[in-house]
Amino acid sequence: MQLDEYLPALGKADARFTAAAAEAVLAHGWHARVPGCPDWRLGDLVWHLSEVQHFWSWIVRTGAADPAAYVRPARRPDDELLGFIAAQNAELETVLAGADPAQRVWTWAPRQDVAFVLRRQLQEAVVHTVDVEQVLGDVRPIPADVGLDGIDEWLEVRVPRALPGGPPAGAHPVVLHAVDADAERTLFPGTQPFPIAALTGTAGDLLLALWRRVPMEVLTVDGDGRQAAAMIALVDGG
């Protein structure tokens, strides 16, 4: 994705999340379980994204070089959560729209600029939107370009953060073939002469499999699916 595509995509993801959350509350209540995050209920999920967006709005708005001065907001009662998440959506989108993507700000990653925040916040909203749609039992497709960019971010940011020493001994390549994006990516390239498996699906489904939101069965597996799942599990320790 290009830099100027992130903010419009974030706006769409935010709107989709908030609409789905409102529908889920009416259908199932705030205590409904979140399948993708088994320890959370719906209220926990909405509060989590609210807090995340509140934090990154502050980082970008202040140009903070470190987060030490940040003050976390007080947990809102459930009946205030929809209003609070809508306010955080608007604040984050407004702050990002007014910032130079090249502006230096603190992040937890090697890349320390607003462009990193744009990309990360889009993917945060996209995956958590699927979480709330799973509560409803009505998950809509992730756009191919957003899904592929999420796969790239997972490979470029998540994998090195989880495995700073590089792939562990015994790692095998896993090919990810995104049919709707006509693209291939590889987890642990070069660790062995041949991949242990190739996983084929939409970019969105591949992304959700990497983030453990859908089972491997939603993908077409060519090779050893069990070992492919084990390679993905190396990234999150389980």
> Which residue ranges of the chain lie beneath pLDDT 50?
238
Q: What is the CATH number of the domain that holds 14?
A: 1.20.120.450
Give pLDDT, residue 237. Answer: 61
Whole-number pLDDT of residue 238: 43
User: Are 17 and 93 in a shared domain?
Assistant: yes
Q: Are residues 15 and 113 in the same domain?
A: yes
Total domains, the chain: 2
Domain with residue 219: its CATH number is 3.30.1050.10
* 102 and 181 share one domain: no
What pLDDT, on the 0 to 100 scale, is given for residue 236?
Answer: 82
User: Does some domain include residue 152?
Assistant: no
In a domain, 141, yes or no: no
34 located within any domain: yes
CB 206 within 8 A of CB 187: no
Shared-domain flag, residues 169 and 122: no
Structural domain span for residue 226: 163-236
- 38 and 116, same domain (yes or no): yes
